[in-house]
Amino acid sequence: PAGRFGRGAPLAGAADGLPHGFTEAVEKGLLTEPDAVRAVWEDALAAPAWDGPALWLHGDLHPANVVTTDGVLSGVIDFGDLCTGDPACDLAGAWSILPDGALGSF
């Protein structure tokens, strides 16, 4: 089963919360290019759902949950959101963990 907050589940299941959250973010000035953000969201929703087997996911991969030694990844901690599902869920961590220019190699 998908993890907490729908992690690892199809993205379409999260679409209902976007209108309120999107409007609030625009009103607070948090989105400088709302049309571009909406276009990316719509592209993501249109992507085919994962049809492979449910795989193990960390479910909460971000900088506070990785350990580095001398700038090299040496561990991952906090497995409280461990679940199974679409492995793309853990790819989101790449945007917040990897340095500029490394995403293509990932």
- pTM (predicted TM-score): 0.67
Both structure tokens of 30: 């948090």
The answer to whether 90 and 61 have CB atoms below 8 angstroms apart is yes
Does residue 106 fall inside a structural domain? no
Does residue 104 fall inside a structural domain? no
- Residue 12: give the domain boundaries: 4-97
CA 84 to chain centroid, in Å, comes to: 14
CA distance 105 to 33: 27
Does residue 36 fall inside a structural domain? yes
Does residue 79 fall inside a structural domain? yes
Does residue 105 fall inside a structural domain? no
DSSP annotation of 9? S
Does residue 93 fall inside a structural domain? yes
Does residue 78 fall inside a structural domain? yes
pLDDT tens for each residue of 50-90: 899 989 999 888 889 989 899 888 999 998 888 888 888 88
Secondary element (H or E) of residue 45: helix 34-46
pLDDT tens for each residue of 4-44: 667 777 777 777 767 778 889 999 999 989 999 889 888 88
Does residue 28 fall inside a structural domain? yes
Alpha carbons within 13 angstroms on the beta-carbon side of residue 27 total 6
Q: How many domains does the chain have?
A: 1
